[in-house]
Amino acid sequence: MNRKVAHSQVPLAEQIKLSLPPDCRIPVSTVGLITQAHQAEEILQDGKADVARLRFSFLYSRFSLT
Q: Which tens digit of pLDDT belongs to each residue from 34-61?
A: 888 899 999 999 999 999 998 766 566 6
pLDDT of residue 3: 61
Cα separation, 65 vs 55, whole angstroms: 11
Burial of 36 (0-12, 13-18, 19+ CB in 10 A): middle
Cα separation, 60 vs 47, whole angstroms: 28
Residue positions counted in the chain: 66
Chain segment 13-22, per-residue pLDDT in tens:
999 999 999 9
pLDDT of residue 59: 62
The model carries a pTM of 0.75
Compute the mean pLDDT over every residue in the chain, rounded to the nearest whole number: 84
